[in-house]
């Protein structure tokens, strides 16, 4: 896995190293890492430069879907990785800083005082590599756990095939995450979401370690969507005791007139905590996966900066060690997200005896 990723990096970084100074090579590697972390309109495996200076990209283009006074559908190969314009029905579109802008026949980009592009941006519904990756993981999960459910019915509750590997993980999520944090009475209603989010994050994290260059869980929009689901489920299923804890945290422990000064401080903190909890979920997952990709790609890039029989093998060895750690981190981040979600659901499902 790491060797293939290193090969892909080598073809991109080494394509310019013969004509670049050391400082330019560092900039090239930095730009490649930044590009790797972003979503894109194609699956780019590697590239190389011909003797005449032409860049050749090897990968899989994806459909670009725009709404600009009508539906515009074309292949991302027309952009040629931002080097050319896409002409559709007499309109010209340019891929600039990973965004699609409407432009003229020469690709003019107009800037404001802050050097931000002011060109019109059509509504973008394109199928990017992150979308394809998520759809792929959804299909894998559907067929995997459909097969697990069918094996239960056919073998009197005994899993067969790949399900035998995943069954203990499902039971672990149920018995060691959901039950202790939510409670025996209500844990079942949260199990579908907990299992889905656990395997969804785990599989996406593993996919991000492949040479496909997919960084889905390092995309803050994706982690925001996952955290938003936890936020909505927590607050929409919250019991009366959950909301009383937020707006009446002291209960009947003291007279109401003595609680007023404390509530001026406590209630805003409790309300703020409603939003801080999901925010911590999205930042934790995003930052950890983003940092892992940056460190791994930086270590691989050092091989082309050292260009020595000592430095390059050392960089590769460190990158290999980090990639092994990232396999553990991929599972750990899925566990942490699921564990904290179950903890928040437990707060929402709490009930107290009132006498």
118 with 167, same domain: the answer is no
The per-residue pLDDT string of the chain (355 residues; one tens digit each, 9 = 90 and over) reads 454 445 445 444 444 434 344 457 777 777 777 777 788 888 877 777 777 767 777 778 899 999 988 899 999 888 887 788 998 988 899 998 888 999 998 888 898 888 888 889 999 999 999 999 999 999 999 999 998 888 888 887 788 888 888 999 999 999 999 999 998 999 999 999 999 999 999 999 998 888 776 889 988 999 999 999 999 999 999 888 899 888 887 777 677 767 778 888 888 998 999 999 999 999 999 998 888 888 888 888 888 787 777 777 888 888 888 888 989 999 999 999 999 999 999 999 887 665 4
172 with 229, same domain: the answer is yes
In a domain, residue 258? The reply is yes
Query: What's the CA gap between 63 and 73, in Å, rounded?
Result: 7
Residues 6 or more apart from 199 whose CB is under 8 A from it? 141, 145, 166, 334
Return phi, psi of residue 87, to 5°: -105, 120
196: closest CA among 225, 170, 222, 215? 170
196 with 280, same domain: the answer is yes
Domain end, chosen from 85, 105, 126, is at 126
Number of C-alpha atoms within 13 angstroms, CB side, residue 292?
A: 30
- 3-class DSSP string for 229-297: HHHHHHHHCCCHHHHHHHHCCCCCCCCHHHHHHHHHHHHHHHHHHHHHHHHHHHHHHHHHHHHHHHHHH
In a domain, residue 176? The reply is yes
115 with 146, same domain: the answer is no
pLDDT for the residue 131: 92
pLDDT for the residue 353: 60
Please check whether residue 19 is in contact with residue 196, taking contact to mean a CB–CB distance below 8 angstroms.
no
pTM: predicted TM-score of the whole model, two decimal places: 0.85
Query: What's the CA gap between 213 and 222, in Å, rounded?
Result: 16
In a domain, residue 54? The reply is no
Q: What secondary structure letter does DSSP report for 91?
A: E
Dihedral angle over CA of 33, 38, 39, 40, nearest 10? -60
Which structural domain, as residue segments, surrounds residue 258? 130-348
In a domain, residue 39? The reply is no
Q: Is the C-alpha dihedral spanning 189, 192, 193, 194 positive or negative?
A: positive
Number of domains in the chain: 2
């Amino acid at each position: 896995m790491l060797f293939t990723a290193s090969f892909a990096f080598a073809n991109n970084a080494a394509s310019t190293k013969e004509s670049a100074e050391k400082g330019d090579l560092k900039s090239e590697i930095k730009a490649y890492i930044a590009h790797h972390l972003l979503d894109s309109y194609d699956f780019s495996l590697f590239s190389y430069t011909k003797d005449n200076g032409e860049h050749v990209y090897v990968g899989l283009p994806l459909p670009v879907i725009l709404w600009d006074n009508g539906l515009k559908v074309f292949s991302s190969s027309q952009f040629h990785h931002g080097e050319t314009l896409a002409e559709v029905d007499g309109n010209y579109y340019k891929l600039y800083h990973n965004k699609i802008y409407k432009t003229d026949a020469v690709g003019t980009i107009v800037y404001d005082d802050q050097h931000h592009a002011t060109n019109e941006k059509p509504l973008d519904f394109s199928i990017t590599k992150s979308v394809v990756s998520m759809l792929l993981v959804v299909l894998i999960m559907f067929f995997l756990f459909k097969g697990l459910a069918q094996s239960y019915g056919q073998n009197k509750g005994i899993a067969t095939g790949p399900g035998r590997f995943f069954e203990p993980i499902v039971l672990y999520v149920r018995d060691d995450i959901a039950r202790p944090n939510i409670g025996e009475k209500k844990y079942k209603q949260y199990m579908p979401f907990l299992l889905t989010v656990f395997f969804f994050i785990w599989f996406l994290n593993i996919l991000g370690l492949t040479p496909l260059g997919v960084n889905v869980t390092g995309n803050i929009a994706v982690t925001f969507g996952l955290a938003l689901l936890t936020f909505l489920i927590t607050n929409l299923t919250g019991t009366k005791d959950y909301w009383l804890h937020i707006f009446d945290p002291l209960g009947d422990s003291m007279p109401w007139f003595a609680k007023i000064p404390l509530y001026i401080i406590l209630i805003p903190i409790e309300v703020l905590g409603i939003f801080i909890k999901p925010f911590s979920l999205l930042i934790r997952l995003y930052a950890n996966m983003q940092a892992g990709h940056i460190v791994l790609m930086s270590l691989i890039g050092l091989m082309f900066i050292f260009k020595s029989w000592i430095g390059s093998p050392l960089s590769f060895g460190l990158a290999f060690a980090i990639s092994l750690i990232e396999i553990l981190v991929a599972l750990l981040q899925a566990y942490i997200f699921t564990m904290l979600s179950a903890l928040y659901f437990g707060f929402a499902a709490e009930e107290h005896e009132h006498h």
